[in-house]
Amino acid sequence: MLRIRLHGRGGQGIKTASQILGTAAHLAGFQAQDFPLYGAERRGAPITAYARVSKNIVLERGAIAQPDILLIGDETLLSDPLASVTEGTESSTLIFINSRHPSPDLKKHYQLESLPVQLDISGLCQKYIQKPMILSTALAAVGVRLMGHIGLHHLLKAIRDELGQERLSADQLANNLKLAEEAFQKVPSFDLEFRKFDDGFSASHLVVLERRPPVDSVPVIFATGNMALRKTGNWRTHRPVIHYEECNGCAICYARCPEGDIRMDANEKPVIDYDHCKGCLICATECPKHAIEIIREVASWN
């Protein structure tokens, strides 16, 4: 069995990437399983998806703790300890990072055990579909290519099957196929060996759970105002930046911010709390002077 874990942010197509990968494996004659793991958070929050590919029936269930392949769609997550992107990886884990930085620089900067595979798939997405943050097709293509054992024709058929449900136009689908083909060809194939210990999966003993009253499992928050401790600024994919030479202090951005992350300073100018700003960009949309610029959060280092 090969175990693949994908990391990205809500809205980047990470779940769809795992579906394409699983479908491609199924079309190539393998047993496959794919699924996402995320809560009720909004676009930009870190999410994880998984895929298992096996020559035998897949009996494992649940999250993948020790992946054979790690696909990182958003490089900034590597600097977020809460995302736990590299947790469970070993020196043998094949790591891919969507980045413009060379592989040796990535290894050194993030203190990785092995040299990662690198490709700027955001740039390819911009080239073919004009959406650099929609990574599903390209990330799936990279995963299929790294894994080996699956041909390009299986990948393209899987993309047609999965994206056909998204009601894309013929031109949009064609561009996604071109995107997948270039991403597939730009990374090496490793033809990874399937692990041998997936022939059977059974419980070693029966676990009988104790019946407890429902109140014991009810989450109770005793501390007041503790949401301020959860810094959700790392959910952002784009950052609003105020140009104060153009700002007239009308406070419309302050009034429109749904999270209350903008305050007015002593000079009656707005100040953004980047620790909690999730990047909804309503402030930039509502600013009558167009004094708020939208800047993409490209990477966690220059």
Comparing C-alpha atoms, which of 279, 288, 212, 201 is closest to residue 249? 288
Predicted TM-score of the model (pTM): 0.78
CATH number reported for the structural domain that contains residue 265 in this entry: 3.30.70.20
- Tell me what pLDDT residue 301 has: 64
Q: Please report whether residue 188 resides in a domain.
A: yes
Q: Please report whether residue 52 resides in a domain.
A: yes
Q: Are residues 114 and 188 in the same domain?
A: yes
CA gap 55, 190 in Å, rounded:
17
Q: Are residues 51 and 181 in the same domain?
A: yes
Q: Are residues 179 and 260 in the same domain?
A: no
- Tell me what pLDDT residue 197 has: 57
User: Domain total for the chain?
Assistant: 2
137: pLDDT strictly greater than 80:
yes
Summarize pLDDT for 174-185 with one digit per residue, the tens: 999 999 999 999
- Tell me what pLDDT residue 298 has: 65
- Where in the sequence is the domain holding 232, given as residue range(s)? 226-296
Q: Please report whether residue 214 resides in a domain.
A: no
The contacts of residue 3 (CB under 8 Å, 6+ apart) are: 50, 51, 52, 64, 66, 67, 68, 69, 195
Q: Are residues 158 and 31 in the same domain?
A: yes
Q: Please report whether residue 277 resides in a domain.
A: yes
Q: Are residues 110 and 183 in the same domain?
A: yes
Summarize pLDDT for 220-269 with one digit per residue, the tens: 666 777 777 778 888 888 899 999 999 999 999 999 999 899 999 999 99
Residue 299's pLDDT band, with cuts at 50, 70 and 90, is low
Q: Please report whether residue 17 resides in a domain.
A: yes
Q: Please report whether residue 130 resides in a domain.
A: yes
35: pLDDT strictly greater than 70:
yes
21: pLDDT strictly greater than 70:
yes
CA gap 150, 16 in Å, rounded:
18
Task: Please give the single-letter amino acid code of residue 189.
Answer: S
CA gap 168, 176 in Å, rounded:
10
Mean of pLDDT values over 53-73: 92
- Tell me what pLDDT residue 240 has: 96
